[in-house]
């Protein structure tokens, strides 16, 4: 029987540019990037060199700490370039596609008939293991650990997020195979959270279904974990996105690595807000038609959502975990009277600071990246941020503990339960303009360094 959670805290940000439920373009990129920087805690060891041929599913990099964890190519073709940054840090492996999509054959298998070792081996060899994210800290899961539970969020509540039913509603067989495979890797349960009892994913078997109703961040798996079975010190749980669950299921039902997904192209500056079929690592230049002749230095092109995505620019690539691209205006303009002007009907305020709160709730705003101010000292208490964060933690005290590097206080105030994305709404409403997500990331990095 499904369990329903009604979250009274949160904030839906009314940004314009939601994608229409149609696929306007299928992208067959000439170049695809495998980016080790997409995976927290992954220390890459290169397995290919420029000019090497690869198949879809061929390994291109391995983790120095655990050689069994691989990154594989999403296309067949030839390694065109190895991109390095400062101190020769490996940034990307650029693969020139031959357009044939020739795949390594991993064999069609019934996940229900496999044991945990066989499932683990299949995911490691295919390069799909990095879909499994370990909490605390949001790193790639350790294959030697059996997690307490595994959690899947089958919807996304972020601003302009892709519609899960439209993207994966036809992939129920693959999703079910993925759930069956994951159930072999834990002594606990596989928990799947949906936003509606009528969701197609509410019919999945061999898992526990939960219904979450409320505003963002209700779709964040971290928020869901905090209500279903909170993480305590010493606990280890894994999470998998819906795209990852389907990719894992496809591996067992087809024997191939298939990372194709529908990607929502969204945002106030997108000319045709719709979906495209694409692969992770697709160059943003393939989406140039979505911003037309607009000067690129006036745009912020984000792989992911507007709150917690990564600004990659027109020359960047779609992130491994992302099913959304957001195109925003790079706000640099100064406004007459600024915050003193209470009218500002074109500006959204979560605090009802402007008369825009009198507008219909259905009104959408062409938001840009302008902060309308600069960083300053924390002025608010946890009650202020608590209005948009449905978790039993202390966000202000946690952020300050992360800044101070105080591990004992970080543990006390909830560092084990969160990732930066979980506090994105706090950052959005923060009148002090503090980069709260970066503070949490700093704290997690310290925990990984000191607690390893």
| Contact predicate 222/240, CB 8 Å | no
Whole-number pLDDT of residue 279: 97
Residues 405 and 426 in one domain: yes
In a domain, 406, yes or no: yes
Residue 363 lies in a domain: no
pLDDT band (50, 70, 90) for residue 381: confident
Domain that holds residue 56: 28-97
pLDDT of residue 347: 78
Last residue of a domain, one of 254, 283, 299: 254
Asked if the structure places residue 365 within a domain, the reply is: no
Task: Identify whether residues 342 and 435 lie together within a single domain.
Answer: no
What sign for the dihedral angle of Cα 302, 306, 310, 311?
positive
CA distance 365 to 66: 46
* Predicted pLDDT of residue 130: 98
Query: For the chain, what is the mean pLDDT?
Result: 93
First to last CA, the chain: 39
Distance, in Å, from the CA atom of 264 to the CA atom of 216, rounded to the nearest integer, reads 18
Question: Comparing 65-69, 174-178, 362-366, 410-414, which segment has the lowest mean pLDDT?
Answer: 362-366
Q: Which of 1-15, 79-93, 156-170 has the least mean pLDDT? A: 1-15
Nearest-angstrom CA–CA distance, 410 and 186: 28
pLDDT in tens, 71-130: 999 999 999 999 999 999 999 999 999 989 899 999 999 999 999 999 999 999 999 999
Torsion angle defined by CA atoms of residues 310, 312, 313 and 316, in that order, rounded to the nearest 10 degrees: -150
**Is residue 335 pLDDT above 90, yes or no?**
no
Q: Cα(94)–Cα(117) distance, rounded to whole angstroms?
A: 32
Nearest alpha carbon to residue 388 among 440, 350, 348: 350
CATH number, domain of 270, equals 3.10.20
CATH number, domain containing residue 48: 2.40.50.100
Integer Cα distance of 203 and 201 in angstroms: 5
Last residue of a domain, one of 74, 97, 120: 97
Last residue of a domain, one of 45, 63, 97: 97
Which segments of 5-149 does DSSP mark as H helices, in order? 116-126
| Residue 416 scores a pLDDT above 80 | yes
Per-residue pLDDT at 333 exceeds 90: no
Domains of the chain: total: 4
Q: What local confidence, expressed as pLDDT, does residue 268 receive?
A: 96
Q: Is residue 388 part of a domain?
A: yes
- For residues 334 and 193, state if they share a domain: no
User: Tell me, what's the pLDDT at 373?
Assistant: 77
pLDDT digits (tens, 9 = 90+) for 197-247: 889 999 999 999 999 999 999 999 999 999 999 999 899 999 999 999 999
Say if 290 falls within a structural domain: yes
Looking at the fold, whether 118 and 247 belong to one and the same domain comes out as yes
Q: What proportion of the chain, given as a percentage, has pLDDT over 90?
A: 83
- Whether residue 117 is contained in a domain is answered as yes
326 or 2, greater pLDDT: 326
Say what the pLDDT of residue 37 is: 96
Is residue 7 domain-shared with residue 143, that is, in the same domain?
Answer: yes
Confidence (pTM): 0.95
Regarding whether 343 and 389 lie in a shared domain, the answer is no
The answer, yes or no, to whether residue 452 has pLDDT greater than 90, is no
Q: Does residue 160 sit in the same domain as residue 52?
A: no
At 149 the pLDDT is 98
Residue 141 and residue 213 in one domain: yes
pLDDT of residue 432: 87
The answer to whether 56 and 101 have CB atoms below 8 angstroms apart is: yes
> Does residue 184 sit in the same domain as residue 124?
yes
Distance CA(56)–CA(281), nearest Å, equals 13
Quote the pLDDT of residue 348.
82
Statement to judge: residues 190 and 235 lie in one domain: yes
Asked whether residue 281 falls in the same domain as residue 233, the answer is no
Whether 374 maps to a domain, the answer reads no
Query: Same structural domain for residues 127 and 47?
Result: no
Task: Identify whether 418 is part of a domain.
Answer: yes
Asked if 367 and 268 count as a contact pair (C-beta separation under 8 A), the reply is yes
């Amino acid at each position: 029987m499904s369990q329903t959670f009604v979250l009274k805290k949160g904030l839906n940000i009314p940004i314009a540019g939601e994608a229409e439920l149609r696929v306007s373009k299928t992208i067959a990129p000439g170049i695809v990037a495998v980016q080790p920087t997409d995976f927290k805690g992954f220390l890459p060891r290169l397995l290919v060199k420029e000019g090497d041929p690869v198949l879809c599913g061929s390994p291109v990099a391995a983790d120095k700490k655990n050689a069994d964890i691989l990154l594989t190519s999403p296309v067949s073709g030839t390694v065109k370039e190895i991109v390095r940054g400062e101190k020769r840090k490996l940034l990307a492996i650029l693969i020139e596609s031959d357009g044939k999509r020739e795949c390594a054959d991993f064999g069609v298998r019934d996940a229900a008939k496999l044991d945990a070792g066989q499932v683990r081996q299949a995911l490691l060899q295919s390069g799909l293991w990095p879909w499994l994210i370990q909490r605390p800290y949001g790193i790639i899961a350790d294959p030697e650990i059996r997690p307490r539970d595994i959690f899947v969020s089958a919807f996304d509540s972020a601003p302009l997020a892709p519609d899960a039913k439209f993207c994966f509603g036809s992939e129920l067989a693959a999703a079910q195979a993925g759930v069956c495979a994951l159930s072999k890797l834990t002594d606990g349960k596989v928990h799947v959270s949906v936003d509606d009892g009528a969701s197609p994913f509410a019919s999945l078997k061999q898992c526990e279904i939960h219904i979450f109703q409320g505003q963002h961040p209700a779709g964040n798996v971290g928020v869901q974990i905090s209500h279903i079975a909170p993480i305590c010190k010493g606990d280890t749980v894994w999470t998998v996105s819906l795209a990852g669950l389907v990719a894992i299921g496809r591996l067992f039902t087809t024997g191939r690595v298939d990372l194709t997904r529908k990607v929502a192209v969204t945002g106030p500056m997108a000319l045709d807000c719709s979906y495209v079929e694409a692969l992770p690592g697709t160059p943003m230049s393939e989406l140039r038609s979505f911003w037309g002749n607009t000067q690129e230095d006036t745009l912020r092109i984000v792989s992911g959502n507007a709150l917690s995505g990564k600004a990659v620019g027109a020359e960047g690539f779609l992130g491994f975990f992302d099913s959304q691209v957001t195109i925003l205006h790079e706000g640099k303009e100064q406004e007459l009277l600024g915050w003193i002007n209470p009218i500002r009907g074109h500006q959204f305020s979560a605090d009802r600071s402007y008369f825009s709160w009198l507008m219909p709730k259905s009104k959408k705003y062409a938001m840009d990246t302008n902060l309308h101010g600069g960083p300053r000292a924390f002025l608010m208490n946890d009650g202020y941020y608590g209005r948009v964060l449905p978790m039993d933690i202390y966000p202000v005290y946690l952020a300050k503990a992360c800044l101070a590097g105080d591990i004992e206080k970080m543990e006390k105030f909830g560092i084990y339960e969160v990732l930066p994305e979980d506090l994105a709404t706090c950052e959005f409403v923060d009148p002090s303009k503090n980069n709260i997500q970066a503070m949490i990331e700093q704290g997690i990095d310290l925990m990984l360094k000191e607690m390893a």
